[in-house]
Structure formats: structure tokens, C-alpha cells
Amino acid sequence: MRSVARTAISWAWSAARQAGERAWRHGIEFKADVAADVDALLFPDRSIDVVYVHDGLHRLERPLYGLAQMARVARRAVCVTEPARAAATRLAVRLGLALEREEAGNRVARLGVEEVAAALRAHGFRVVTAERYAMYYRHEPGRAVRLLSLKPLFPLVRFALAALNVVSGSFGNKLAVVAERTEAPAAGGVRAR
């Protein structure tokens, strides 16, 4: 098993445990799991090499402030994967296929690609990738997803989804932004090995 120094930050221990489980399945050992408030991260400026969020900012009352905290503690790079503000999503909400509010009561704050990119640029980052892509998933996969995930079918499904995103990804309901810090990193960051 590869050993990587990681810190999983979550507002819920269950989410940190799930991240640890995913890492274990991919042969990566977690060194630390931390539950923290993204509005007040306890880490020093530029103390973590790469800061990544997947479907976390949209749960915050102030998602761009959470992003600013991520940028503050990031030594080298910030990666963001979040729900995107999209016409397809607005239609899905109207049809009852997507939520405007999650079960916990929070509004789903869908972000714009350029909004995220501009915020990271303002914090001294150069945007490497900023794109949208189409994605649909449920937290509990149904029969169809389990079937399409079987070894013989999965490569075909991945190819079909990649082709779909080449054609229509720019209209997609998810965003991905990767940015790297433009100035030299400060000494003493947490290093991934």
C-alpha cells in the first residue's frame, strides 16, 4: 500500500471516513482525518501542498469564502469539483430530478467556472484547467449503475461518457477547476510522499 501524507477535512466525521475508505480501495494509506470548519481552517497559510474539494463548497452559506480559505492554506495547488450553475440543472430542479435544497436544509450553491477561476486568480493562482462536464449520480447507486460498473461493461461506459462530454460537456452540470500558485511556495508545507 502506498503511503501518502493526507489530511481529510470535513464538517462530518462520516465524510472523512468515506474519503479514507476510498483511499484504502485505491491502495493509499491515510495518515490523518480531521473534522474542521472550512470557515476557520486551523492550518497556517500555505501549509498544505494540494487542497482539493469534491462536492463540499456547495453546502456552505458562503462557498467563495470557503474557497478563499482553501487558497490561503494551499502551498502549491487548489483543485475544485463542484455542482455548476447550468441550464440543464435548473430544468432538472424544476422537474424534481435535482435538489434546490439538500435533505439537511442547506441551499445547493451551484458555482460558475469563471467565478471559481477568478477567485483563485485573485489569491495568486494560475488556472491550469477550468471546465464543465455532464454527470448524474445518486449517493446510493441503483441497479443500472451497478450493472454498468461491471468489468466487461465499465470500459465501454467510460468511453461513452467521455464521448458525451466531448460533445456536450461545456453545458454540463459539474465544474472542475485546477489552479497552481504562481509565486514560490512558502517553506514548511505538508508534503505528499
Q: Tell me: the pLDDT tens digits for 118-132?
A: 999 999 999 999 999
Domain boundaries of the chain, sorted by first residue: 37-141+168-181
Indicate the pTM of the whole model: 0.76
pLDDT of residue 16: 62
> Quick one: cell of 9?
477535512
pLDDT < 70 positions in the chain: 1-20, 22, 29-36, 137-139, 184-193
Per the CB < 8 A criterion, the answer to whether 175 and 131 are in contact is yes
> How much is the pLDDT for 190?
43
37-141+168-181 maps to which CATH number?
A: 3.40.50.150
pLDDT at 33: 55
Residue 80's alpha-carbon distances to 17, 36, 64, 83, 174, in angstroms, are: 20, 18, 12, 10, 10
